[in-house]
Chains A and B, each alone.
Chain A
């Protein structure tokens, strides 16, 4: 199975900050990498697919980059509604695996 490792596991940031979350795959996955946002008690929401494509309706302050084993999710100018947990997911091969999550908290 492909292991997905996110870092950091949690971070504290302020409104307006630039936030970067990384995700590393244990094997090459090309750009078969998606990012999801999850708020407490809610279902995950797709943000980015294919490493860098912004899902329709997602604010442009969210962006993704990377290929092969290393990927990045960037939030420019963090907004109050962005405090949540973020997960990466590989769909290169089944079993589709998720990272352990990165919780973005208010500083």
Chain B
């Protein structure tokens, strides 16, 4: 089955700086890549997603890039704010049959 690896496991940045989280996947059939933000005591919330026919997608301060050849995708958060502090998960899916999650990145934004 699919294997998703996520790095780093923890990340601290100063407020206003950028944060980058990287994921790799193993199955070239994966075609949908969502990113989730999980705050303490809550369920993961979708923040952005990308499909395999697109190389990059942006939504305000958040962007995701996908390199299908190298089988990796990244989350970029610019102008970080304290409320961005949370655990972020990447995921890969083959036609929505099942979603495979990375092991999470705990992001801390230092005011």
Whether A and B are associated in the same complex: the answer reads: no
